[in-house]
Amino acid sequence: MKEQFNTHLTMQTNSLSCPLLQRKTRGPSSCPLCIPKKKRDEDTGKEEINVFYNQEKVGVDSHDQMCSLYTTARKTNRWPMRLFYGIIDSAALNAFVIFTENVPNFGEHKKEK
């Protein structure tokens, strides 16, 4: 790690001296760019940020899976078209999720006798 130095000027009778003094280390509270020691999960031994990511990525994974199962995309060499198809896939899936939340008995068959 590169050491940082600070200059300290002192006036003497006939000369100006500028000795290099080693900079004092600061704690994380005084330096916003200092990175604190990484916390680890006791059960898995992984870092807490990795455990949090693994818990929260489920929504993204299921969204990607459903978009790939019911896709509108076609083979194309133009990337703007692929981007457009991806937006359409995402909008259709989001509309379906909102619809199923608003209509709780959607998909249930009525037995009429």
What distance in Å separates the CA atoms of residue 10 and residue 17, rounded to the nearest whole number? Answer: 6
Domain boundaries, the chain: 48-102
Note whether 92 and 84 are within 8 A (CB): no
pLDDT in tens, the chain (113 residues): 555 555 555 555 555 555 555 555 555 555 656 666 777 877 888 888 888 888 888 888 888 888 888 888 888 899 999 999 999 999 999 999 999 999 988 877 766 65
Which one-letter DSSP state was computed for residue 9? -
Note whether 89 and 65 are within 8 A (CB): no
